[in-house]
Amino acid sequence: MASSRSVRVERNRLRFAAAHMATFAGDCEPLHGHNYDVLVEVEGDLTDESWVIDFGLIKRVAREICERLDHRFLLQRDSRLLQSEERDGAWLVRFGEDRCYQFPSQDVLPLPIDNSTAERLAEWFHGELAAGLGTVSITNIRRMSIGIEEMPGQTGWYEAPLR
């Protein structure tokens, strides 16, 4: 088996504040928010410069994603329990017959996920970061792990290969 190295960047400026309401067991949490921290671990072969990846590059791309999430309502667009639609400059989000929310469109980030759990946010973030790194033709990376920490001691992870 070939050896590999890994690097990790986390917290500092890799954070965002956002609101959400996850759904569980047929119910929906009350609307609330978190100050999320992001952890990124990249595994791969050393380049000719003797690094896995430039820390500055991975932080820049991850920070850009955090900025898209910051101060937004994270809408689980593919939810099985929430009904949502955008019209007249606002998102209408319903849970059942008795809970209806209206958010200005500019405050909502509709994500193609079925639930706004830390695990699903980590999976979505992984895809966005992989796409961002793919635009700079990085070929030595094998795996990437993303952690989305909702609060200290409470982190959802997603890990997958990049090639």
pLDDT tens, residue by residue, 87-99: 999 999 999 998 9
Answer whether residue 125 is part of any domain: yes
Task: Give the per-residue pLDDT at 126.
Answer: 97
Answer whether residue 96 is part of any domain: no
Instruction: Report the catalytic residues.
Output: 28, 71, 150
Answer whether residue 136 is part of any domain: yes
- The answer to whether 129 and 95 have CB atoms below 8 angstroms apart is no
Domain with 63 in it? 5-24+31-81+113-161
- The answer to whether 144 and 43 have CB atoms below 8 angstroms apart is yes
Which CATH number does the domain housing residue 48 bear?
Answer: 3.30.479.10
Answer whether residue 95 is part of any domain: no
Answer whether residue 157 is part of any domain: yes
Answer whether residue 148 is part of any domain: yes
Answer whether residue 46 is part of any domain: yes
- In the chain, the number of structural domains is 1
**To the nearest whole percent, how much of the chain has pLDDT over 90?**
85
20, amino acid identity: H
pLDDT digits (tens, 9 = 90+) for 9-52: 998 889 999 999 999 999 999 999 999 999 999 999 998 999 99
pTM of the model: 0.94
Answer whether residue 98 is part of any domain: no
- The answer to whether 41 and 4 have CB atoms below 8 angstroms apart is no
